Structure 1
Amino acid sequence: MAKLPKPVRKIIPNGTVPRAYIAAVILLALSFIIAESYIMWLLREGYWTAKNNQWQVEGVQNSVQTSMTAYQVYNAIYILSQVYMVILCLEAVATENFIQIFASVGFYFVCLVYAVARYIAFYLYPTLTANIFLRDENMHHMQLSVIGTYVAAIVFLAILSWKLKTEVGWSVYKKFGADNLLHRSYKWYQILMLLLKLDIFFVVSYLIQMSILVLKVDNPETWIQMTVFIPFSIGTLAASFYSLRMENRSIMRTVMVCYTLSVGYFIFKIYRVCRAEILNKPGDPYQDSRPYFMITIVATMLLVIASAIVSLFCIRNFDNGLKEAIEYEKMKRDHHRAYNTNVNHSDESVGLMQNAELRGALDRFSLE
């Protein structure tokens, strides 16, 4: 099998399964981006047609315009999410992170839930705005096609991910040898890293939805959101990455407290979104965005809870040599890349261990 060009091999290693996995992820992402872009166009066309021909009441026009804005915001977020997922999958294959490889399956499951919720809102229990599209066959067919493609994508990527895991598993063994403690620690490390990367996307998605669809300048909640929640989220995520890489127990424990406080905040938001005094009433700020917003809130809250639980396992694995093992592996790869030698066959490993803290780890981590 012909080798890929060297710059490409840094991202996509040789092998049928890795190439098939990356090709599938990219093709699926492009397909969904095109489909969602077309749905966005149908939304815009339906809005202008109905506005010019039917709506004469100003209140109705404002309500439908608010709903259309919500639909288009969610379409735009979804398109950006496809790009983010491709980046995660490319990184997973390039770094041989078998935990992150399975992220595509879970991601498309969440997207399937979103697509089903959208279909229900449009065709089973249509709102005022969704009534515009009840007789739009193009919109109907596109939404059914998206749902069907999601189901096929989940099955196909699950099979490819499992096969790719088998190949990557041997590479992980070569990194850390037969040390079961290191393997277990590295597994929890990878899980938490993946959860934090997903936290970034869902928290940013939540903030976009809140900022564009809900918050108003004259609303005190807007300023609480801007001055408290946004800095709190950024600081917590940054501290999570730092404490995990540096194996800092005190910061990680503080982060776990922040996660716990965040769960309380999201429970409060669920109450605020679903409270009876605004539900389906005139001026409802969550009109036609409630199902999708609730999916985002629940998904973000579950990720935060999972991050807190996995952080506890990571704390228990601190100071067992994983940090030194990762640093040694990175130094070894950088060295072999610089001198264009094979990372698995070289007699220059001792030269990599100039740092006194890492020198004692050579016998434990190196297989050469």
Structure 2
Amino acid sequence: MYVPNTPWTWAFMLVVLGQAVASLGLEAYVFGEFQTNLHVKDDGDGKAPEPTKTIPTYLALFIFGFIYELVLAYDALRLKNTIQVIGVCLYNIGMLIYSSVQMDQVNEAVKKLVDMGDIDPETWQNLKPFLIAAPCVVALGTVMLAFIAWKLYNEFAWTIYKHISADLRLKRRYLTYQIYIALLKFDFFFFLGFTVQFVVVVTGTSDSEFYLTIAAIPITIILLFLAAYFTRRESHIGQTGIIIVYFAAMAYFVFKLVRMYTPAREQDYIAIRSSLTTFAVLTLLLLVVTIGTAIACMMNFNKGLKPHIQRRKVPNTGELDGGKWGSGDYNGPPHPLGQVPQRMTID
């Protein structure tokens, strides 16, 4: 898979990679120290205390978040998707907030375990410096990524300028498509984050609910791939079906939110309710935006954009001028309305 070989793309990947390595090192130490000092006692019903599950879950989700960000950054550069590049910066801000909140969550969990005699009393003092360092690393990475994203925005604009028409209407349609594809990738992270926490921490659910939640993970991946496929193929029927699925997903998250605060069931969610609520609300907001963007994309079907998005990767300037795309057929198959104009700016 090809990534544009320019100084700013290399800088973007190196910052994301460096931040991930440093953060994963800190989180690995925190997780290892926590597990080493943990002396779990049976509470009488064969279950470990809730804090022993919540802390590893928080940290594991943090680790997955950085790995997924690395994949998103690589994918954004490969596709020259400026919207996704900006999305990675916003995603990094979310990781900064999560890493800042993490310190208080770990402190509370350790205090509970100390009171129960399940962990060494000095554990918090050993973990505190590393928990403080984690958001500092992410904050520095966020500033650097924001500056590089600005440079990449200008750099990608010229390549796409030579790939797509200068028609402002076509420009807006392509921008809408880029936003939609980026939203699908962020939807996946928040849905998976909610699901993992629910499966690992929440107790008291029926077997059927547990297995349905597990099954939702591969189903979600398939549906997101289909959503992108139907958009590129400009299938009205497929897009309509995907939008209906989005509404069903919204109903699912609303149901979970209401259930978490229902007196009869709130005890099952209390250990991780704040985190689940955050993920559920963010996912609902993303779904609202995703539905609106999906409808906007469907309204743009059969209006000249399809030839430009059949190939997911935008050609490089060298390829456009004299490489394999130099013959002028890089815009895809002939358009039914005639030749597609060859220039566009996304500024």
TM-score for both structures, normalised by structure 1: 0.79
* Residue 20 (structure 1) aligned with residue 8 (structure 2): no
2:114 & 2:310 partners in 1: Cα distance? 54
The 5-angstrom pairing of residues 1-368 of structure 1 reads: 10-15=2-7, 17-48=8-39, 51=40, 58-59=43-44, 62-64=47-49, 66-123=50-107, 128-129=112-113, 135=122, 136-214=124-202, 218-226=206-214, 229=216, 233-234=220-221, 236-279=223-266, 284-327=267-310, 333=315, 342-345=319-322, 349=327, 355=333, 357-358=334-335, 362-365=339-342
CA drift of 1:119 comes to: 2.2
Equivalent pairs counted in the alignment come to: 339
Q: Which runs of 5+ in 2 are unaligned?
A: none
CA drift of 1:216 comes to: 6.5
Q: Which deviations, in whole Å up to 9, do the C-alpha atoms of 1:301-338 show, x marking residues without a partner?
A: 222222111112111211111111233796x95xx99x
TM-score for both structures, normalised by structure 2: 0.84
CA drift of 1:213 comes to: 2.4
Q: 1:350 to 1:237 in 2, by over 3 A?
A: closer
Instruction: Answer 1 or 2: higher relative contact order, Cα 8 Å, separation at least 6.
Output: 2
Q: Which deviations, in whole Å up to 9, do the C-alpha atoms of 1:221-250 show, x marking residues without a partner?
A: 2244356x5576345423312221111123
CA drift of 1:360 comes to: 6.3
Q: 1:247 to 1:80 in 2, by over 3 A?
A: same
Amino acid at match of 1:171: T
Q: Do 1:67 and 1:287's aligned partners in 2 also have CA atoms closer than 8 Å?
A: no
Q: 1:327 to 1:134 in 2, by over 3 A?
A: same
CA RMSD in angstroms comes to: 3.3
Amino acid at match of 1:233: T
Q: 1:349 to 1:302 in 2, by over 3 A?
A: same
2:27 & 2:158 partners in 1: Cα distance? 38
Q: Which deviations, in whole Å up to 9, do the C-alpha atoms of 1:63-121 show, x marking residues without a partner?
A: 53x32223213322322221221121112122211111112212122222322332232
Q: 1:345 to 1:130 in 2, by over 3 A?
A: farther
Q: Do 1:185 and 1:322's aligned partners in 2 also have CA atoms closer than 8 Å?
A: yes
1:263 & 1:154 partners in 2: Cα distance? 30
1:350 & 1:257 partners in 2: Cα distance? 39
2:297 & 2:131 partners in 1: Cα distance? 41
More helix by share: 1
Q: Do 1:117 and 1:291's aligned partners in 2 also have CA atoms closer than 8 Å?
A: no
2:167 & 2:278 partners in 1: Cα distance? 40
Amino acid at match of 2:301: F
2:253 & 2:335 partners in 1: Cα distance? 43
SS at match of 1:343: helix
1:237 & 1:70 partners in 2: Cα distance? 29
Q: Do 2:233 and 2:306's aligned partners in 1 also have CA atoms closer than 8 Å?
A: yes
SS at match of 2:310: helix
Amino acid at match of 1:262: A
Q: Percent identity?
A: 22
CA drift of 1:46 comes to: 2.5
Q: 1:96 to 1:353 in 2, by over 3 A?
A: closer
Amino acid at match of 2:258: Y
2:31 & 2:312 partners in 1: Cα distance? 46
Q: Do 2:203 and 2:269's aligned partners in 1 also have CA atoms closer than 8 Å?
A: no
Q: 1:19 to 1:218 in 2, by over 3 A?
A: closer
Q: Which deviations, in whole Å up to 9, do the C-alpha atoms of 1:39-84 show, x marking residues without a partner?
A: 1112102213xx4xxx5x73499453x3222321332232222122
Q: 1:111 to 1:134 in 2, by over 3 A?
A: farther
Q: Which runs of 5+ in 1 are unaligned?
A: 1-6
1:353 & 1:170 partners in 2: Cα distance? 16
